[in-house]
Structure 1
Amino acid sequence: MTVHTLGIIMNGVTGRMGTNQHLVRSILAIRNQGGIALPDGDVIMPDPVLVGRQEHKLKALADTYGVERWSTDLDACLADPHNTIYFDSQSTLLRAESIRKAIAAGKHIYCEKPTAASLEESLELASLARASGIKNGVVQDKLFLPGLLKLKRLVDSGFFGRILSVRMEFGYWVFEGDWQPGQRPSWNYRKEEGGGIIVDMFAHWRYVLDNLFGEVRAVSCLGATHIPVRVDEQGAPYRCTADDAAYATFTLEGGIVVQANSSWTVRVDRDDLLTIQVDGTEGSAVAGLRSCKAQHRVMTPKPVWNPDVPNPFNFTEQWQEVPDNQPFDNGFKVQWELFLKHVVTGSPFPWDLLEGAKGTQLAELGLQSWNERRWVDVPELKL
C-alpha cells in the first residue's frame, strides 16, 4: 500500500466557511477517517498548511484543531515542493492574484467561487491553468446536497417527462447589525469590496441549472438594495453599495423557464433556506437542502378556484418524500475527495476553472440586465 501525502496550501480558511466546511468538515474529516482509500489499496492523505495574513488567527485555528503547519508567508509555502495543491477561500478581490502565483509555481488549483472579480480575470485564470497543464477545480458544493442529489435522480429517471419550469427561492433575513449582529460579514454589502447577492449567488445558480436542467441561454434580472444602511462588526454604520436582493428569470436550452429569487431581506416561510420546484408534464418535485418531495401526475389533485368556500385540500399532504436510498456525506467533503482523486489518479473532474468562469459570466450579465433593464443572452464560453 502506498500513501499519497498531498501538501495543501489552504489560504483564507480563518473565515466561517473556510473553517467549518473546508478545513473541519472536509480536510480534517478526511484525515480523521484515515484518508481516501483507492481501489488498488493506496490511500490519499491530505497534509494542510493554513495560510493567511493574521498570525494570531492562524495560530488559534491551528491550536484548536491540531493542525501542525501554518504560515503568513504564501510565497514560502508556494516554493515548498511538498505542497502540491493550492486552495483559495479568500474574499473574491484577493483570489485572482494568489491563484496566478500558485499556477506560476506549478501547483494544482482548487478554489471557491466566484473565481475572480470579473469574467476577463476568470477566463485568464482558466487559460493560464490549461496552458500550464496543472489540474484545477472550483467548488460547486450545492450539486452534492442530499436534496439536489435526489432531484437529479428524478431528472435522470425521466420522472418529470418534459420539464416546463423551475422556481427557486433562496434567502433569509440578515440582521442589519444594530440591535442584533448580522449573520454575514459587512463586505458582502459593499460593491467596492466584491459584495452583492448577484455576484455571490448567480455563480451558484449557473452550475446548478447547467448541471441539473440545461445550459443557461438568457437572463433578465432586477436587483435591489433594500436596506441602505447597516452596522459593521465594529458597531459603525455604513452605507450599502451592493445589492441585497435579486429577482431573476432565466431561459435554458430546451425552452425551460426558471424564476429565481435571491434575498438577504426575506423572512422564511418555506421548508428550507433554498427550495427548488420543478414542474414537468409527468410530475413535479420540490427540493430543499436535504429533502425532496415529488408528485406524479396520477396523484395530482384537481382543485377548482372558488374563493367563496373553504379550501377542501391539504396540498402539503399530497406529496411523497423521495427516499434517501444512500448515505449522504458533507457536500464540500465529497467534492474535495473527488478533486484529490483527480490529482492523484487522473479520474474525471468536470468542474474546472472554465466552469467557474461561467458563474462569473452569469453574474456580470445579470448586473448588465439590471442596469440596462432588458433581457441579455448568455454566449458560450471558450478558451
Structure 2
Amino acid sequence: MTRRTVRIAMNGVTGRMGYRQHLVRSLLALRESGGLDLGGGDTLWPEPVLVGRRPDALRAIAERHGLAHWTTDLDALLAAGGEDAVDIYFDAQITSARPDAVRRAIAAGKHVYVEKPTAPDLAGALELARLAETAGVCHGVVQDKLFLPGLRKLKRLIDGGFFGRILSVRGEFGYWVFEGDWQAAQRPSWNYRTADGGGIAVDMFPHWEYVLHDLFGGVTSVYAQTATHLPDRWDERGAPYTATADDAAYAVFQLRGGAVAQINSSWAVRVMRDELVEFQVDGVQGSAVAGLRRCRAQHRAATPRPVWNPDLPTGEPFREQWQEIPDNQEFDNGFKAQWELFLRHVALGGPYPWDLRAGARGVQLAELGLRSSREGRRIAVPELAP
C-alpha cells in the first residue's frame, strides 16, 4: 500500500463555511478515516495549509486541529517548491476577493477548487474558466446541493422514470435572518452590501442553476423580481448600516425540455415547511417533495381526488398521503462527497462536470436575474461563449 500526500492551500477557512464544511467536515473527516482510498492499495492523504489575513485566527485553528502549516502570504505559498509546494488551491473567501487569488493560483500551475459564485460578474467567471482551461489544470466549483440526501433521492426517482414527463418544479428556500439589533444576525453583514458581492440572488441563483441543470435541464429564460425587504440592519460590531443588496428574489425559470421552475429565495421569511429548502416536482405520472434530507412521493394511481368547497373544513389528510422514499444507502456530508470526487479527479484524471465553466453558468443566471428585475421583463439565457 502507498500513501500519496496532496497539499491543499485553503483560503477562507476562518469563515463559517470554509471552516466547518470544508476543513472540519470534509478534509479533516477524510484524515480521520485514514485518507481517500483510490483503489489498488493507494491512499490519498490531504494536507491542509491554512491561508488568510488574520494570523491569530489561523494559528488558533491550526493548534485546535493539530495542523502544522498556515500562512498569511499567499504568493509565497504559491511560489514554494519541493516539500513546501501545494498541489491544490481552494478558495472560500468573499466573492469580491476570489478572482484575483484564483488567477494567481492558476498562473502558478495549481489545480483550483472554489466556492461559488466564482466571480462577481460573468466576464470574470469566464476569464477564470478560460485561464484554467488554457493552463491545463484541474478546476472545480462547489455545487453541494446536488449531494444532499433529499436531492439524491429525488434524482433516483427521476432516473427511474417515476415522474413521466415533468411539468413543473416549485422551490421554497429561506428563513428569517435577524436584523442584528436585538438578536445577532445569522449571516455576515457583507451579504447585505452590493459592493461586497452580497445579495440573495448572487448567492442562491448559482445554486438553482446547477440544481435545475443537472436534475431537470438547463435554464433557457428567467423572469425575476428582487427586493430588499429589510433595509435597516446592524453589523457584527452592533453598528447600524443600510442594506444595499437584495434579501429576497422571486423567479420563474423556463427549462430546456418544457418544464417551468418557480423558486422563491428569502432571508426575510419565517419557516412554515419541514425543511429550510424544499422542491416540489410535478409530473404526469407522479409528484415528489424533496428537501435537505427527506423525499416524499405520490404516484398517479395514489393521487387523491380533492374537491374545492370553502364552506366545509378540508377532510383530506394531505401530508399523510405521500410515501417516504427510503435512504437505501448511507449519505455522507455533501461537501465531503464532492471533495472526494474532486480529489479523485486530480489524482486519477477522468471527466469532471462541475468545473469553472459550470460555475460561470451560475454567475450568468444571477446576473440575468438581477437584470430581469431591473428591467421588469423575461430574459433569455444564451449559451456561454467558448
Q: With the length of structure 1 as denominator, give the TM-score of the two structures.
A: 0.99
1:24-76 superposed Cα distances (whole Å, 9 cap, x missing partner): 00000011111011221100110110000010110111111211111001011
For 1:64, the equivalent position in structure 2 comes to 64
Which of 364, 369, 372 is the equivalent residue of 2:367?
364
For 1:139, the equivalent position in structure 2 comes to 142
For 1:307, the equivalent position in structure 2 comes to 310
User: Deviation above 3 Å: which 4+ runs of structure 1?
Assistant: none
- The amino acid of 1:322's aligned partner reads I
- The amino acid of 2:264's aligned partner reads N
For 1:74, the equivalent position in structure 2 comes to 74
For structure 1, the 5+ residue unaligned runs are none
The 5 A counterparts of 1:1-383 are 1-81=1-81, 82-383=85-386
- Take 1:40 and 1:347, find their aligned partners in 2: how far apart are those partners? 17
**In terms of mean alpha carbon deviation, does 181-190 or 68-77 score higher?**
68-77
Q: Aligned with 2:90: secondary structure?
A: strand
- Take 1:346 and 1:168, find their aligned partners in 2: how far apart are those partners? 35
- The amino acid of 1:327's aligned partner reads E
- Take 1:367 and 1:53, find their aligned partners in 2: how far apart are those partners? 32
- Take 1:90 and 1:308, find their aligned partners in 2: how far apart are those partners? 55
1:197-238 superposed Cα distances (whole Å, 9 cap, x missing partner): 000000100000000000000000000000011000001000
- Take 1:176 and 1:279, find their aligned partners in 2: how far apart are those partners? 36
- The amino acid of 1:77's aligned partner reads L
1:97-149 superposed Cα distances (whole Å, 9 cap, x missing partner): 00000000000000000000110000000000000000000000000000000
- The amino acid of 2:59's aligned partner reads K
Q: Aligned with 2:87: secondary structure?
A: strand
1:345-376 superposed Cα distances (whole Å, 9 cap, x missing partner): 00331100000000000000000000000000
- The amino acid of 1:38's aligned partner reads L
- Take 1:123 and 1:347, find their aligned partners in 2: how far apart are those partners? 22
**In terms of mean alpha carbon deviation, does 33-42 or 351-360 score higher?**
33-42
Note the C-alpha offset of 1:3: 1.4
- Take 2:16 and 2:320, find their aligned partners in 1: how far apart are those partners? 37
Note the C-alpha offset of 1:380: 0.8
- Take 1:65 and 1:275, find their aligned partners in 2: how far apart are those partners? 35
Q: Alignment length, in residue pairs?
A: 383
- The amino acid of 2:352's aligned partner reads F
Note the C-alpha offset of 1:2: 2.1
- Take 1:39 and 1:57, find their aligned partners in 2: how far apart are those partners? 37
- Take 1:80 and 1:29, find their aligned partners in 2: how far apart are those partners? 27
Q: Aligned with 1:83: secondary structure?
A: coil
For structure 2, the 5+ residue unaligned runs are none
Q: Aligned with 1:255: secondary structure?
A: coil
Note the C-alpha offset of 1:278: 0.1
Note the C-alpha offset of 1:16: 0.3
- Take 2:42 and 2:350, find their aligned partners in 1: how far apart are those partners? 15
- Take 1:39 and 1:60, find their aligned partners in 2: how far apart are those partners? 35
- The amino acid of 2:256's aligned partner reads E
Q: Aligned with 2:31: secondary structure?
A: helix
- Take 1:68 and 1:147, find their aligned partners in 2: how far apart are those partners? 37
- The amino acid of 1:205's aligned partner reads W
- The amino acid of 2:6's aligned partner reads L
- Take 1:33 and 1:174, find their aligned partners in 2: how far apart are those partners? 36
Q: Aligned with 1:38: secondary structure?
A: strand
1:316-358 superposed Cα distances (whole Å, 9 cap, x missing partner): 0000000000110000000000000000100331100000000
- The amino acid of 1:168's aligned partner reads G
- The amino acid of 2:188's aligned partner reads P
- Take 1:382 and 1:192, find their aligned partners in 2: how far apart are those partners? 27
Note the C-alpha offset of 1:4: 1.5
- Take 1:264 and 1:290, find their aligned partners in 2: how far apart are those partners? 21
- The amino acid of 1:257's aligned partner reads V
- Take 1:65 and 1:322, find their aligned partners in 2: how far apart are those partners? 38
Q: With the length of structure 2 as denominator, give the TM-score of the two structures.
A: 0.98
1:293-319 superposed Cα distances (whole Å, 9 cap, x missing partner): 000010000010011112110000000
- The amino acid of 1:130's aligned partner reads E
